[in-house]
Amino acid sequence: MKILFCCEFYAPSVGGIQEVMRQVAERLVSRGHNVTVATSHLPARTFRELNGVRIVGFDVSGNFVKGVEGEVAQYQRFVSTGDFDVVLINMAQQWTLDALIPVLSEIPSRKILIPCGFSCFYEPSYAAYFRQMPNVLRRFDHLIFHASDYRDICFAKKHGVKQFSIIPNGASETEFAVEKDHAFRTRLGISNQEWLFLTVGALTVDKGHIDLLKSYMDCNFNGQASVLLLNANTYIAEANEKHSKVSTVSSGTGVHHQNRATCDTRWDKKTGREVLSKAYRTLSHFITGNKPDRDPLPFRDEIQSLLEQLNQPGTTKRVMIMDMPRPELVQAYMNADLFVFASHIEYSPLVLFEAAAAGTAFLSAQVGNAEEIVEWTGAGVIGPSVIDKRGYTRIDSKQFTARWIQLMHDEEGRRKRGRHGKRNWAARFTWEHIAQQYETVLQQVCTAPAIIGRASRRC
């Protein structure tokens, strides 16, 4: 098959959707398919092909609500005149879908959409957008959802859309095939006697880091020393000012409409030392008590206060904020005693699958389809949460703290969840298994009778 993936960001940009698209695209290439990705042009992207996947960048930004600007006509022509059997678009509410809405009927390829959660479904400014969405969905040959009970799939069912599949997210069988490195803690100065907690997420308010730090502060571990390792999971500094104003932050396929922290933490290959990004240096200042010249993060003051309290001398708790290279992050998952997650809005967070792949139990807010991931993997526990009228989740701090303490005093229970998670992940949620499901859907869509618009190609 000749396949076109359309997604707002792709490698070297890092994030949930980028990871899903890259993992699936590369595996489809290895299966003999021709895969192209249409995505945002990024100055940091110095290649046009990555692991057999062709990448075509367009200088486009925005969405239906904010307005789409840039090389819109060029993108529309590329998709509508390209020699593709099937076009798969990942995520509504961003330009790779919204720029095509006026020309969907002109695209001869079969068309598949992953709505990806409808994160702005309850936002008043998106009311007109979602009024037209039923007609948009019906113009696709097929939809793919990552959750069986979430706002996007419920919306589609309500409006009579029946041509869809549910394909979950997952974690890499290649990355998590490595052995646990017992020297990991030593490298970070963490003793084997300390409990190690891990959380992963972009440095934005909606990742819930402040809520998590408050809960951690309230945890009474009866004097047991502990470390909370916050991996900032920051983004390569590829976005120019125009993109940073209108683009979304995406991690774990939860999409948050905020300005991105364009920061980059790299590891010097010669010295083995970390080269700190601006955002990371700022957080280092927080820990040492030295204020930076500028405040790039809107929640700087509150997070600084929490870090200073948690990291003061003489306490049994501490927080480390890092942005580790991917192999080190995998080791962090494997060496952690518990993965904790308090994000405000997600769709189907990859980090929970990754915790399961590492054999590490997790405690998560009731965000996105986290509850379903708990059922699928058996690896986690949901912390009581409150969901507001705009669809944002906040942990119930007191009860979340109680669950955290309870899990840490049930070592056998945590180990059992970790074993179940790793076994179930290996059986169902590796990217290899998931790529097979995508391939099956793509082939079925290509060979089924055309039901929409001018779609007439056969694979």
Residue 454 pLDDT > 60? no
Would you give the distance in Å from CA 139 to the centre of its chain? 27
Would you give the distance in Å from CA 61 to the centre of its chain? 20
Give the list of residues 6+ apart from residue 88 with CB closer than 8 angstroms, or none. 3, 4, 5, 6, 111, 112, 113, 114, 144, 442
Q: Give 374-402 pLDDT, tens digit per residue.
A: 999 999 999 999 999 999 999 999 999 99
275 vs 357: which has the higher pLDDT = 357
Q: For residue 149, which phi and psi values (nearest 5 degrees)?
A: -150, 85
Mean local confidence (pLDDT), 156-169:
97
Beta pairing partners, 319: 228
What percentage of the chain reaches a pLDDT higher than 70? Answer: 83
Mean local confidence (pLDDT), 433-446:
98
Mean pLDDT, the chain, rounded, equals 86
Give the list of residues 6+ apart from residue 95 with CB closer than 8 angstroms, or none. 8, 60, 61, 62, 63, 68, 72, 75
Give residue 243's pLDDT: 37
Q: Which stretch of DSSP H or E encloses residue 56?
A: strand 53-58
Residue 138 pLDDT > 80? yes
Residue 242 pLDDT > 70? no
Give residue 459's pLDDT: 59
Other CB atoms within 10 Å distance of the CB of residue 304: 20
Mean local confidence (pLDDT), 407-427:
98
Give residue 302's pLDDT: 87
CA–CA distance, 142 with 5 (Å, rounded to integer):
14
| pTM score | 0.86
pLDDT band at 283 (very low <50, low <70, confident <90, very high): very low
Q: Give 287-314 pLDDT, tens digit per residue.
A: 333 333 334 445 678 888 899 999 998 8
**Which domains are seen in the chain, by residue range?**
2-170+431-447 (3.40.50.2000), 175-428 (3.40.50.2000)
Mean local confidence (pLDDT), 135-149:
97
